[in-house]
Amino acid sequence: MKLTMYTDYSLRVLMYLGTRQPDEKVQIDEISEYYNISRNHLTKVVHNLAKLDYIHTVRGRGGGIMLKYKPEELNVGQIVRNTEDNFYIAECFRPDNECVLTPICGLQYVLNDALNNYINTLEQYTLQDILPKALMR
């Protein structure tokens, strides 16, 4: 399974924030420059992460963003579930599935098992487990 860029960017933002001091505010521009990702893309990601209650945003002069929870309290599997728009890894997973083989095909069950194992593996880790050591302060 491949994560969308949106989920990838969400994880990168959380990882970056997770390497900062708990009360340290970070600017989107700083993250954008570090990862070489469009500021516009990151603004959308940050907005959604705030809606999902993973980060706290402070507007205005001296504002910025910071994690709302400790890195060890944020589950990677849950983050992925909340930031991926769907898990349609094959036609048979789609609500509008039109595959003629679906009623007689066993692939759907195998792929579903693989998908569940993938998510279950991610759920065994917290943000703390995946923080890049080079960024740690």
- Domain boundaries of the chain, sorted by first residue: 5-135
Give the residue among 48, 39, 38 at the shortest CA–CA distance from 82.
48
Place of tokens 């943000």: 127
Whole-angstrom Cα distance, residue 9 to residue 17?
12
CA-based Rg of the chain, rounded to a whole angstrom?
18
| Token pair of 63 as six digits | 């504002």
CATH of the domain spanning 5-135, picked from 1.10.10.10, 3.30.460.10, 3.40.50.620, 1.20.1740.10: 1.10.10.10
This prediction's pTM: 0.88
Place of tokens 């039109």: 98
Whole-angstrom Cα distance, residue 107 to residue 100?
13
Statement: residue 136 has pLDDT above 60:
no
pLDDT for 133: 75
115 DSSP 8-state letter: H
Statement: residue 70 has pLDDT above 90:
yes
Statement: residue 137 has pLDDT above 70:
no
First to last CA, the chain: 33
